[in-house]
Each structure stands twice: as structure tokens, then as C-alpha cells.
Structure 1
Amino acid sequence: MGATFTATREALLRRQGLVFVAPGRATASERHLQAIELELAQLGYVASRRLRQRLATLAPDELALQPRLVAAALAAQVGANVRYTPLFRRFPEDVPRDTSELYLRKLLSHFLQAEGQPCVFCRRVGTTHVLSPCMHVVCDHCFDGANYSACPVCEHHVDRDSPFFKPGRLLQRSLPREKVRFKLLDLGEDLPAAARALFESFCARTQVMSPVDAGDLGAIADEFGEQVLAWLPDEIAVRENVARIFGALLRKCNAPATFAVARAHLATATDVLRTLAVFSGADPSLQGEVVRRRVQQPAPEQPAAGGLQARLKKVFAGQERLPKARTVTVVTHKYRFKVAPLPRPLRRAVLAHLESMHPDGLVEDMLRHRSYWQWLGQFLHPHEFAGRFPKVARAFATVRKKAPDGTPAPRFVGFYAAIEAAARAGDAAAMVERLQARPGELGRRFDHALRVAGADAGAQDVVISAFVAAAPRLANPLLLTLHGHLPARGRPTALRVFWPKGQVTKGTSAPDRRAPLAPRAIAAAGAAVERELLRRLADKPGFETCVLDEGLRDVVVPFNERTASRAAVSLPRGSRVALPAGEVVRLFLHWCQPEAGQTTDIDLSVAFYDESWEYVGVCSYYQLRFDGPDGQPIAQSSGDLRSAPFPDGAAEFVDVHRERAKARGIRYAVTVVNNYAGLAFSRLERAWAGMMLRSDLGGQHFDARKVELKFDLQGDNGVFMPLVLDVAESTMHWLDVYSTGQFEMNNVATSNKAITKICPEMIGYFASGVRISMFELALLHAAARGRQVIVRGAGRVRGFARMANESAEQFLRRIRAGEGATPSSPAASGAPVFAALVHGDLELPPGSVCYALFRDRVIAPIAASDLLS
């Protein structure tokens, strides 16, 4: 490992808990091994016996370096790779109770306190200090320098060498006294094999990869280069993933040779466009780039001379001000990317591949991304090769709306225009006739086609028959989406939620005005979907025993992974997680400005609401404590830092006492991260937030062992609502949703309307069951692949054994109904098992396949997305 601790090793460590260490020829001392174990334990990890034995064979210099690199990677995963120093260093002690009084004191200090003069509050002489570089004059009697880490007046970081700052009476415990659930690390033996297995799992994904997956894929491609070409499967299901894979390989390998392999996977012009985007270092989602420009807005025109004189008199009298020019922010979207140099052989290969496509399909596909193709054409120069590639030249002329000689391009009517025309005409049969050529579109528009058919039973039968025939050709994620969607369409719902593409998730809602679907249509389509899913899963390797946790009923099958926040735990959006009673939720935030970057102020707040989502209170920079009737804090902030200079950045914390909140009549506590001023989240050097569960609030502010969630801040939006605490049910709702907010000065008060709309809508949407749970997905696997299914939950363990000649459909219905259940135990017999767990707390036999939301003791678990393949 040593100096070769690559990004691939880091990915396998982070995802699977594997540490790759070549055997040495030395014998390490017990003292050194114990020091390594202690360092890992401080991060919440413990080494397996096999890993410890391998470490014991290393020479002292290797033993000093290798575990340090492992620890650094693990620390970065949970956010323990930076220092967390809040504004009030003795937090949660000594947080001012009256924020208004504190604000008034800061305001008066800013305007009235002068250097060398008595303090404006205590009138003492010789107690004031000038802080640099803000130049505020602060009194060490009125402001406790032992408690502050930044300027008490402006809350910006300053030179800490000032005599104002004092050591303080900080607690000296190295770690708080906490009950810790440690995660296991094990020895990895074959790095290329592990990297290949992970790469192949990315290729098998049946939905767009998350940012974490995409980064790990790029790491493997960079490290193994042309070796990866031999690992490619015959088919890669998702078009955007194709672009991720081959775009990364084109950057590393011989471009023309790699494109020759890629051609078999690039079915459309959009596939080519996305691949060239990744090759150029751009995002393959083709969602455009947000551009913010500060422009000077001119002052309004002045009135005529006579009117100007009259106004000037009012100005000199102090009755009016002359209008001034002001600076405003203009936001635009740019649909292009910086194209990497395209070697001439690669350009010819791209044009030749586009020429091989159907001419109408080529034009239609390019028109979907007209701006990108107009831009890319400047680099491909298609009309220089018009004689050699005439179809490509025609397509670019259509995209540009004119040929190089200036003649207008012919009007083009494509596939989707014909579908919309049939829908407007109320002709469901014509819709289906067109859609049958593209089964995926038929599946996505099945509900729409049924509504176009209306009450006409004959038209409904045409739509249903076409769908049932197309079901075997639909992708697993689409089948699973319909598996959750169809049962909910028998009755009107209060709300529809849409998930438009974008760099971050902004769930858009509207009233549901759709007519309910006919019960027979729902039954026929639902049966076809379930039957097809079970048939596909039955083709996978079988298991004698399957173990499922009922707690996964609250975990949603991942969707829209493109916008999922980078997180230490891959918790799918919309999921709920039960929280243990008694522990305090400590939320944390860290951000850092780029070197020589703009000063940026990000605020961590918690807004409180009752059962009806009526606002109750807030803990934020303008109210540092939110107290209950007894004066005890329901929540308190560590203070507002308004700058995060490179390289250390800044940190904020908020403690939420759930039991006190519940006693106060509070139901929901909403975590809100506001971009108050400065750079967007995506332009910062780093920015993340997270949640710890603490029973001992003393000692270190940040305890890596107790981090339950850590997630990156991303995108350009001003308000991020990552999670909601339901204090009545002791659960956490993971929403991972953004709101546009204002350009600056975002806080809970300005965001309250968005909070009380988005949060209840998202919670209600996911509670409706329209998105199926990981338990339901795992149950489909178990019914199709297992002989015995053990279900753990609610203090009981039930076992279901498949009967002789019992089909997967019959077995599935019986497990759902709880028929034939017997008390059981998850103890394994030694044969491999299939397991889907909330916490990986089982010792699994070799060869087992396990999904675990929290990895804990499970080594090399599969991802949730792997169960969709």
C-alpha cells in the first residue's frame, strides 16, 4: 500500500471495508499494533483478526505509514479530517441566552467603541483590544475571550494571537463517554479482482450512477487504464452510465482504439454527445451550467432641467436621495461545455459513427439537445466532410436551421411530436402503435395512454395488451417504479410530485387532476409487472436461506441518483430511520472558502413546527437558544461564523434535545442549511453537514464515532433541507431537497414558506407508498431465489419455508400475508445466505450476498442499486 494508496483502494475501503496490505517479512511490536487499533477506534472502526495479523508482518516504516493513510481516508469519509472550532468554544456551555441583547452589544461596539477609549458598556479602561484585520475594538470584560474563537462583533475569523483570546477552561477529555457501534475492517487480498468486481457492478447498474459511484468509476479507469477494456460486458443498461464509462476511458486510453470499442454501446447521437462531455470533463446529464454575473444596473433617467433643480433642493434639505446605480445578479443557463482537444482520428471516428445511424433518428436525437450540438459542430467540422458523411451534414444543417450556403433546412417532425398529436386527438390506439417501437416510452407513458383511452373499454384493452406484451423488454427500475405507482392510481391523490433533471433535487408538486385508472387495468398491468420481476430474479443464483429486516420498509428504493448528495451512508432520498431514544441530535456544518476566494457565510439552523406544520420556533444565528417553558434549551447553536478562510474553514453546531421538544408540543424539527452570502455551495473548496447522536455532550465537539450521516453540500441553490426529525415518532426523514431561495440573506424566516410546503409534501409523498421500499425489493428477491425466508422485526423473528411445487408468486403472497410463519432464528447453517439488513450485525458465511444500510460488521456489502440489476 504505502505510497500507492490510490483512489481505488480508498473506494474499496470506504464502500466495502477492505484494506489491501501486501505481506511483509517483519514482526511488529504489540505496542505499535495497539496504537493503530486505538487510532482506528477513535474513528469508530476495528480491525479484523486477519487484518491485524497481516499488519503484524510489516516493517516499522510501513507500519507507520500505511495505517495512517487508511485512517486519513476513513476520517475524510465522516468529516473528521478537519478541525471543528465553533464561535463559542465552550459550546454547549456558555451560549448566550438573550440573542437580542448580544446583537445590540455587537452593534454598539461596531459603531461606538473606539481604540484607547473606555469601554462603552463597562466604562473600564485598558480592557479593549483591536482585532485584525476587521479592526473592531472589543472589551475582554464584556466579551469572554476564553469562549470566542472569532471576532465577537462581526463574527469573522481574525488573528488569534491577540491578547483578547485566552486559553479558557475547556474540557480536556480526549473522547466523550459514548456507547459506540464499531464498524469492521477486513483484509483485502486481490486488488485487481476487487476493482474489477466493483467496475462490473457499475456496468450492471440499471439506473444512473450517483456522484459517489461516478467518482469511484473514474478512479478505477484512471488506475487500470486499458485493462478495463477487457472487463466490459456485452451490454450496459443505462445510456448515461455508458458515457461515464467510455468518457473516462477515452481520457486514459488511446482515444480512437477506445472509441472503436465504444461504438457497440453508443446507440444514439445523445450517447455520443454525453461521452464527449465526460471526455471533456463535463457532466453527462446535459443539464446546462448555471452562470451568475454581477452587472451594474444604471440609475433611472433624470427628469428635465426644471424638475432636476427642484429635486436637488429636496436632496440638500435631506428630504430625498438621488437614484444611484446598483449591482444586481443575473442568472443564465449555458448549454455548452469546454470541449477537450479532439484528435483528427477521433473526430473522423465520431462522424463515421453518427453517419451509421438512421437519418431521421439522428436528426431527432440531435434536436433534443440543439444548443449542445450547435456548439459541438464548431469542433467536429461536419461540413468539411459533407461528401463523406452526408447524413451527418444534413443533421447539422437541420440543427442549425440552415445549410452552410444559407438555404433553410427542411422542417422535421419527430417521434415525440407524433405521440403528442395522437394524445391531443384522443387516439390511444395511434399512441400505442407509435410507442410499441420504443418499449421504455410505452412503459413510461402507460398511465397517460390509459387516460387518453378514457372509459372506452376497447381502447383500454389495446393499451393493456400492448403494455403486457412490452413488459419483458422494460428495464428493472421502470418495472419497480410501476410496481409502486400502479396500486396508488386506483384513487385520486392530493398531490403529484415531479422530479425534473438538474444538478440538485427540487421536488416540484402540483394538484393531482388525473382521473383514476380502471381497477382491471391496474390489476392486469400490476400482475404483468410482478410476474416479470420474479421471473428475472429467479434467474439469479439461489439461496437456501434469506434474511430480511422489516426496518427496511422505511427505506426507499433509490431513484434519481444523479442528484443524490455525496454521503458517508448511501441513504436513499425519502427514507426514514428510527433514532434511539434519549440521545441528543448534534447537527454539524463545515465549509471552507477557496484560497483567495470570496468571503462566504453559511448558516446551520433548525426550525420547529407542530403537528399541523405551524411554526413554533427556531434555533439560528438570530436566536442562538430556543428554550422550553422550564428554561432548559430545546435547541442551542454554537454561534454564527460569517467567514471560512482557507485552509481551516469554519464550523457550526446545533444540539436538538428531542425529549424536551416533544414535551413542548413540537412534532417536526427541520434542519436548514442557508447560503446567507458569498459563493454558491458548489464553488466552495469543501462544504458538508451531518448528524451525530450524542449522550455525552462534554469533551470534543465532533466525535467521528457517533456520526450517523455526513453529506456534501452541492449545487447553486440557496436553501438546503436535508432532513427532518419527527420527535414524536423518534425518526429521521431524509429528504435531500433544495429550494432556490434568494440570491443572498437566506434564513429560516425567508424560507418558512418553502419549508412548510416542501417538507410536508415530501414526507406525505413518500409515506403514500408510491415509491417501493427496500424491504419490498428484497422480498421479491427472497421469494424468487430462496427456499427459506427469515423476517426480523418488532421484537420477533419469523420464518417462511417454501412448500413443494409452490411458485414464486404464491410464496410471495403467503409471506406478505404472514401465512405459515413459524418462530425462527437467523443463525446460519454455513451455506451462503442472501441478507437485506438495516444494520450489518450478522456473521455471514463465505459466499453470502448482503445489502446493509449501515455496514457495521458486514464486509463487502452490495449497494442498493445492485439489487435493481
Structure 2
Amino acid sequence: MDNLESLVIARRLRVPIGDAPTGSHPGWGEVAARQLDAALLSVGFKCSAALLERLAKLPGETVVDLGMRVLAAVRHLVGDHVQHNAYFLDFPRNVPDTVEFWVGLLREALLDPVAATRVQPATLNLLALPGYGRYQHTYADLLAAHAELMPLAGDRVTVLDLGASLESEARELYLSLAGSQAPLAAEDLAALRTLAAFCGDEPERIPVRENRAVINEVRLAAGRPLLVDAVTDVLRLACGCSGGDVTLVTPTRFRSFRRGERRALLQALDAAASPAKLGDVPRHREQWKRLGERLHPHEYPRFPRAAHVFEVARGVRQARSFDSRVEEALSAGRAGDAVELLEKAPGALLRRLDHLLRTGTDPGIVLDAAEKAADSASGRVLLSLREHLQNRLAVAPGRVFVNRRGRAWTTADARSRLEEDVVARAVAILDEEITRRLPDPGELIVDPEVLDVALPLSGKAVAPGLGMLPRGSLSRVDGELLRFFVHWRQAERRTDYDLSALMLDASYGNAEHVSWTNYGNDFAEYSGDLTDAAEGASEFINIRLAQATRPIIIPQVNIYAGEAFDEAAEAFFGYMIREAEQEGMPFEPRTVRMKSDLRGAGRVALPLVFLRGDDGAWQVKWLHLYLKGHPGFNQVEGNRVTASLLVRSIVERDYLRVRYLADLLRGKGSAGEHTTYIGLQAPADLPEGARVYTPATLHELIPA
């Protein structure tokens, strides 16, 4: 239950209380509530008026117990659950010159008789010098060396609102995640699994098949009918039940299934395995073979079509996929036949629209087919195509591709040009269909701060956290000092992550960097390199924005040695904003604007980029990218060209943002008396029953 409570607090910023009994000693609960509010404020949170009023009516002991759990949840959310020490005690002051620092370490090693025997000039390893890469002082020493933070009005204050009962809040979160139109991040899938086991309600719609697999796990365990309409649904379910990957990206080692489970899986597979669906099997041929070894389909002759699936996997039975027939028609120059085939799969037709328009077929025929397909395709497909088309006429520095784990790469754009009138008609078709599907907004209230937030068309590479926004989102940076940080703790072997900053001019050239090989420049300081994180390690880079001589600043986290991001016991990145007069510790939770886990597939993380506009104002744009990098010894100097090209591709891309849907909603008109609010955080004075969309629930705004 505590896990569910923490989940609701972190994802919804609500404290589930429900109908808890009131206290028998008036005043004690109110005192405890005020104490909790003060403790929350120290980490950048506070209770809403409604929450404070409700807490004051509870028994004091209940408020204290609840407060401890709430504090633990929000401290973890902001990254304050660990002690953030820094290598240099006075950081950001008194950071030494890089060469001076290394010379000092070498001098100390040579003066130490024991250490000197290990210093061999022919094979000198600077990273192995005594005292390097490990804290030389305690966290208590760091506390004593820094003045207390001066609170200012610009510090972050995140409001925690009053929630209903835990059961009600968990159910609402469950239905929101299960009904998401966009694929979920791995953390959200894990949360959905937890919620599905707790909530007995059945979602009205489960558009994403990975979500369906997670819910089917619970249904299988309870002996309920499975939600299956494609053979791959059964494979995903079997992977999930075995603790594997329901996205089917990584192979799963299947467990042994009980007889009742085998019967249920084969029965569902038999129902879904029509001849037309068997073409999906070869895509995951090896995993089907392994699953067949566990399900023993030969023991169930009453499910003959299920047996056909495994025959296709073994090559005994032939089955052509739908995509292969489309590709054959296109490669033979029969684009018209390809269009006729794709008309049976509206989503697939729209995903291939750009390609079809470049085959030489009459664009009118292709667009007529697209207009019919738009009526049946998912809202996410419509919005993704709309974003693609609004970038199609611009000259791009290159095409950027990002897989579901955030790994990114670029290629030259060799596509032929589309005519403006063709793109204009396609965009008009999409706008009309998207508008038709949007709900009646009633009175629409939109916070201007949310207009430049990108629509969450995929959440896979976005780990949930504090202040997280989808890739391509823009938000202001208000403050004089920017400080980003990384914290990691190794699981089994020595792990060395390096926080770095790549700094570029307006043309993405003239590179400069701050890292363990260059401790600072005229406007930035590095906190020092840590090479072992058995007890956890933190690194920081401090930037004085007004003095920055480069308008593009790209934070990076490089894996120099050891465990990958998703192998470490813990790894997260974030940034803080302060004013010049504020002192405080290197890490101050109330100044944190964003914090999220690192868990991508690459060896170099590019979480976001800071950009200075022509007016001198700074903005942050979310990237959520990972570079493949090298197995070891990654440095900012070695990936600056790749990082620059990727970042430029993201920065110059025109993402579909909340502004687009807000404009369509305003143009839709209203006959209702309800209120729709879209913003970064809901205000306290909204009418009862208002529909509220914040970054945590923005996926609910995507039409079905």
C-alpha cells in the first residue's frame, strides 16, 4: 500500500486521504500539519489550502505518520533522498586550474614514499594517482563549509493537492495509464503492472498493445478471459509473465508455465491466429520457437490454429506478412496496388504517406485514400503525421532517428521534395479529422507557459520525474546561475560517470567544453571528477548565464567505465536555477527545476539543451537522447560532432505542441458549461468538475 501511495504522490502530486477519521484532540492535528508544510517547503513543496485544512482535522499521530511518507516520496522525486557531496569542498568557489590540480596531485604522489614507487613516468596513469576520484572530505565537512541557502521568491514551489481515497486515486491513475494513446515509458509500464494488480476495474479502451499485455498478466493470473486480437498479443503476454520485455525489443527467457496457463495462452492464440494474422509471426521467429518449447502445443490438438503459429516460426508453414506484400508492390513499381493494399490498414497507409507521394503515383489518388484512412486511424498516428508534414518543406540539416530506448542517429536527407499544394491538402485533411475528434472544451483556459510543451506522442524514452516534459518541449530558464548535476551509485563493479558540458556558437561550431579534462572557463566551473560510486557519487557543473559566451550549452553524462545507466543501482540527472545572491549547498532541493532517472541504451546521455535567444533570454529544450558511444572511456571531446548534429536536428525541428491543439479547441466552439484547463499545474480556483490537463496527464488530451 505504501508503494501505491508513493506512486500517486509522485505521479499526481496528490496526497490520498479519503475519509480518514478526524482527531479527538483539536489543535494537535493542525500543529502537525503546519510542521509538515514547513518541512515540505524546505524541499520545494507545499500543501494546498484544501490539503492543509483536511490534515488539520486528522489525529496528530496520523498526520506525522502520513507526513513521513509524503516527505520520503517528494524527496525521492526531487533527488534529495541521497547526500550530494562534491569533490571540491568549496565548489563552485576555489575550483583549481586543471593543470595546477594535476601537478599538485603528482607532486603529492612523488613526495609520498609508498605512492612514489607506483608512479612510473613511462606508464603514468593520472587517474590512478592517490587521492584522485574519491571524496577527500565528509558530507558533514561540506555542510560546514557552505552558508545556508537564502530563500528567494524565485525558488521552486510545487503544490501538493488533496486527494481522494487511495483506492480512488490509484484507480484514476490506472485508467489514465491503461488508456494512454502513446506508448509508456518502462517506469510507467511497471506502475501499470502494480496498479492492475490492485484495481479490479476494466479500462474502457487499451489502445497500446504493451499496456494490454501488462493487464493480461493480471487477467491470466486470475483465470479471466484474455484481451487478444493478434498473435503478437500472446507473445507479449508470455514475455511479461516471464519477467521479460513486453515491447519485444530484447529476447525473453521464458519460464515454465502451469498447465492451466498453457491452455489459456494456446486458446487465446488459437482464436487470434487467422491466416491473415500469421504473417506477423516471422518478425519474432526465434522468440516464438522458444515459447513453443514451453507451451507444448502438440498436447492440445483442439487448438489447431495455435499450432500453425509455431509451424510458421519453424518454417514448416509459409505465411507472408502484410508489409512484405506492400514492399513487393512498391519495389515492382506497382504503387497503385500498394495503395489498394494499404487501404485495408488505415494506420499503415498514413505512416507510409510520404513514401507513397514520392512513388510517382497521382498525388490526388494517394490523398483521396489518405482522406478515407484518416477516419479510422488512431489519433496518435494523425498527430505524428501532422508533425512530420509541417517539417517536410523545410531544409533540414539531416534526418534524425530515435528508437524506443532513446538511442539516436542521423543520416543525410535524400528524399525528393514534395509539392507545397500536396502537403497543404494533406495537412488540411489531418486538421479537419483531428478537430472532429477533439472533445467539446466548454470554457477553455490555457496557461501560456504550457503552449510550447510538445505533445507526448511517445513516452518510451522519457523517464518520469520532476518537471519532465516530452522531447522537443521548450520552457523558460529564469535565473542567473544554472547548475546541472548527476548522481549515480554502482551495483556490483566500479563505475565512473562523467558530467560534461559542450558549448557551441550559434552555428553549432567553435566548440568549447567543461569536464574532468577542463575544470572551467570564464563562466563555468566543474565540481571535480569521481571515479568510484560504491556509496554514491555526485558531480555538478555551475554556469553563470549572464557571462556565457556560447548561446548553446549541452549537458552530457558520459560513461567512462563500469555499469550502463540501466545496470547501476541508481542514476539520475537534473538541473537547478539560482540567483547570484543565493549561497547554499552544491545541491539545494528547492532550486531543482528538473530531475529524472538515466536509463537509456547508449553510453552517452544528452538529456536537454540550453539555448539563448536573440533577446538574450535562455530556454531549455528537452532532448531525451542517448548516443551509442564506446564500451569505455567516453569523453565529451570524442562525441562533439555527433552530439552537435543530433542537437541541431532536434532544436531546428518544428514539434507539434500544445499550442496546436489549443488553437483547434478554441476554433471548435462550445455548447457546454464545463471548463477545460490546460497548464503546467492546476490552480486552486477552478470550478468543480473541470477537466484538467497537466504534463502528467497530457497524454489524455490526444484524441482516440
Normalised to the residue count of structure 2, the TM-score between the two structures is 0.91
Counting only pairs closer than 5 Å after superposition, residues 431-470 of structure 1 correspond to structure 2 as 431-452=338-359, 454=360, 456-457=361-362, 460-470=363-373
Question: Distance in 2 between the 1:186 and 1:555 partners?
Answer: 23
Alignment match, 2:271: 356
Whether the 8 Å contact between 1:354 and 1:362 is mirrored in structure 2 is: no
Task: Map residues 376-455 of structure 1 onto 2, 5 A cutoff.
Answer: 376-385=291-300, 387-401=301-315, 409-452=316-359, 454=360
Mapped contact 1:724–1:734 kept (Cα < 8 A):
yes
**What's the counterpart of residue 546 of structure 1?**
444
1:15 maps to 2:14: no
- CA deviation profile, 1:252-280 (whole Å, cap 9, x unmatched): x42xx23x1x2xx3111111111221222
Q: Per-residue CA shift, 1:778-809, capped at 9, x if unaligned?
A: 22233335469xxxxxxxxxxxxxxxxxxxxx
User: Do residues 601 (structure 1) and 496 (structure 2) align?
Assistant: yes
CA contact (8 A) 2:494 2:533 kept: yes
Inter-CA distance 160–201: structure 2 relative to 1 (3 Å threshold): closer
Structure 2 residues without counterparts, runs of 5 or longer:
120-124
Preserved CA contact (<8 Å) 1:382 1:392: yes
Which residue number corresponds to residue 498 of structure 1?
401
Shift of the 566–107 alpha-carbon distance from structure 1 to 2, 3 Å rule, reads: farther
Q: CA deviation at 1:74?
A: 0.7
**Residues in 1 aligned to 2:130 and 2:151: alpha-carbon distance in whole angstroms:** 28
Aligned to 1:25: 23
CA distance in 1, matches of 2:458, 2:541: 30
SS of alignment partner, residue 86 of structure 2: coil
Q: Does 1:679 align with 2:514?
A: no
Match of 2:486 in 1: 589
Shift of 1:466: 1.7
Shift of residue 430, structure 1, vs aligned partner: 0.4
Aligned to 2:39: 39
**How many Å apart are 1:559 and its aligned residue?**
2.6
Q: Which residue of 2 aligns with 1:725?
A: 610
Question: Alignment partner of 2:622: what SS?
Answer: strand
Distance 1:216 1:521 in 2: 43
Distance in 2 (alpha carbons) for counterparts of 1:90 and 1:569: 28
Structure 2 residue 217 is the aligned partner of structure 1 residue 247: yes
Q: Match of 2:311, SS? A: helix
Amino acid of the structure 2 residue aligned with 1:481:
S
3-state SS in 2 of match to 1:776: helix
Q: Tell me what 2:544 maps to.
A: 657
Q: What is the aligned counterpart of 2:383 among 453, 458, 480?
A: 480
Which has the higher Rg, Structure 1 or Structure 2?
1
Deviation at 1:738? Answer: 0.7
Question: Any idea what the Cα deviations from partners look like across 1:814-858, whole Å, max 9, x if unmatched?
Answer: xxxxxxxxxxxxxxxxx64212224545732211122234xxxxx
The DSSP-based 3-state class of the residue aligned with 2:291 is helix
Is this contact kept in 1: 2:606–2:625, CA < 8 A? yes
**CA 1:246/1:393 → structure 2, altered by over 3 Å: closer, same or farther?**
closer
> Match of 2:453, as an amino acid?
V
Distance, in Å, in 2 between the alignment partners of 1:468 and 1:167 is 64
Alignment of 1:237 with 2:237, yes or no, is: no
Q: Which amino acid aligns with 1:837?
A: G
Residues 839 and 32 of structure 1, relative CA distance in 2, 3 Å threshold: closer
2:133 alignment partner, SS class:
coil
Q: Which amino acid aligns with 2:86?
A: P
Q: What is the Cα deviation at residue 246 of structure 1?
A: 1.9
Q: 1:492 offset after TM fit, Å?
A: 5.7
Shift of 1:116: 11
Aligned to 1:99: 98
Mapped partners of 2:472, 2:687: distance in 1: 32
Counterpart-to-counterpart distance in 1, 2:70 and 2:169: 17
Partner of 2:638: 750
Q: What is the letter of the counterpart of residue 630 of structure 2?
A: Q
Q: Secondary structure at the match of 1:554?
A: coil
2:465 and 2:596 in contact (8 A); partners too: yes
Describe the SS at the equivalent of 1:356: helix
Q: Is the 8 A contact 2:115 2:130 kept in 1?
A: no
CA contact (8 A) 2:566 2:601 kept: yes
Query: What are the residue-to-residue correspondences of 1:191-590 with 2, within 5 Å?
Result: 191-224=166-199, 227-228=200-201, 231-233=202-204, 235-250=205-220, 253-254=221-222, 257-258=223-224, 260=225, 262=226, 265-288=227-250, 336-385=251-300, 387-401=301-315, 409-452=316-359, 454=360, 456-457=361-362, 460-490=363-393, 493-501=396-404, 504-537=405-438, 540-543=439-442, 545-580=443-478, 582-590=479-487
Structure 1 unaligned regions, length at least 5:
121-135, 137-149, 289-335, 402-408, 628-633, 789-830, 854-860
- Give the aligned CA root-mean-square deviation in angstroms: 2.8
* 1:615 equivalent in alignment to 2:513: no
- What is the aligned partner in structure 2 of residue 779 from structure 1? 663
Query: Is the 2:16–2:169 contact (alpha carbons within 8 Å) kept by the matching residues of 1?
Result: no
CA distance in 1, matches of 2:504, 2:302: 67
Q: Does the aligned pair in 2 maintain the 1:499–1:505 contact within 8 Å?
A: yes
CA apart distance, 1:157: 4.8
User: Partners in 2 of 1:413 and 1:398 — Cα distance?
Assistant: 10
Cα deviation code 1:539-569 (max 9, x no counterpart): x3541x2122444443211233112233222
Q: Secondary structure at the match of 2:181?
A: coil
Give, in whole Å, the separation in 2 of the partners of 1:363 and 1:843.
55
Whether the 8 Å CA contact 2:397–2:648 is kept in 1: the answer is no
The residue identity in structure 1 corresponding to 2:679 is L
Question: What letter corresponds to residue 748 of structure 1 in structure 2?
Answer: V
Change (3 A) 1:865 1:676: farther
Taking a change above 3 Å as real, the CA distance of residues 476 and 84 of structure 1, as seen in their structure-2 partners, is same
Question: Residue 438 of structure 1 aligns to which amino acid in structure 2?
Answer: A
Q: Deviations over 1:41-81 (max 9, x none)?
A: 11222222332233223334323221011011011111111
Match of 2:524 in 1: 635
Aligned counterparts, 1:19-98, within 5 A:
19-21=15-17, 22-26=20-24, 27-29=26-28, 31-96=31-96, 98=97
Q: Deviations over 1:279-312 (max 9, x none)?
A: 2222211111xxxxxxxxxxxxxxxxxxxxxxxx
Distance change (3 Å), C-alpha of 1:642 and 1:8 = same
- The amino acid of 2:500's aligned partner reads S
Q: Distance in 1 between matches of 2:564 and 2:678?
A: 38
CA distance in 1, matches of 2:190, 2:701: 17
Distance 1:91 1:103 in 2: 17
State how far apart, in whole Å, the 2-side matches of 1:865 and 1:523 are: 28
Alignment partners' CA distance in 2, 1:578 and 1:174: 23
CA distance in 2, matches of 1:167, 1:236: 50
SS at match of 1:683: coil
The equivalent residue for 1:705 is: 590
Q: What is the identity percentage for the equivalent residue pairs of Structure 1 and Structure 2?
A: 29
1:365-399: CA deviation from partner (whole Å, max 9, x where unpaired): 111111211111111112333x3333332331231
Change (3 A) 1:171 1:410: closer
Compute the displacement of 1:340 (Å).
3.5
Give how far 1:592 is off.
0.7
Instruction: Tell whether the 8 Å contact from 1:173 to 1:699 is kept in structure 2 after alignment.
Output: yes
Whether the 8 Å contact between 2:397 and 2:649 is mirrored in structure 1 is no
- Cα distance in 2 for partners of 1:600, 1:223 equals 37
Q: Is the 8 A contact 1:617 1:626 kept in 2?
A: no
User: Which residue number corresponds to residue 847 of structure 1?
Assistant: 689
How big is each residue's C-alpha offset from its partner over 1:308-339, in whole Å with a ceiling of 9 and x where there is no partner? xxxxxxxxxxxxxxxxxxxxxxxxxxxx2132
Cα deviation, 1:596-647, whole Å, max 9, x if unaligned, reads x1011111111211122223422111221212xxxxxx1101111111113x
Contact residue 428 and residue 463 of structure 1 kept, 8 A: no
**Structure 1 residue 166 displacement after superposition:** 6.8
Q: Is the 8 A contact 1:605 1:672 kept in 2?
A: yes
Counterpart CA distance in 2 for 1:450 and 1:774 is 28
* TM-aligned CA distance change 1:167 to 1:482, over 3 Å: closer
